[in-house]
Amino acid sequence: MRRFTTVLAGAALAGLALTTAPVANATTGVPDAGSAPITATAAQGVPLTVDRPVVHPGEQLRIHVEHGQEALSWVSSGAFVRDSDHPMGADEGVAHLVRASDGSADLIATIADVAPGQYQVHGRAGGGPVPGVVITVE
Considering only CA atoms, give the Rg of the chain.
18
Count of structural domains, the chain: 1
Query: What is the model's pLDDT at position 52?
Result: 94
Higher per-residue confidence, 69 vs 8: 69
Judge if pTM exceeds 0.95: no
- 40 half-sphere exposure, CB direction, 13 A CA radius: 13
Q: What is the mean pLDDT of residues 27-33?
A: 46
18: CATH = 2.60.40.1930
Residue 50: Cβ-neighbour burial (10 angstroms; 0-12, 13-18, 19+): buried
Tens-place pLDDT, residues 75-115: 999 999 998 777 777 779 999 989 989 889 999 999 999 99
The whole domain housing 79 covers 4-137
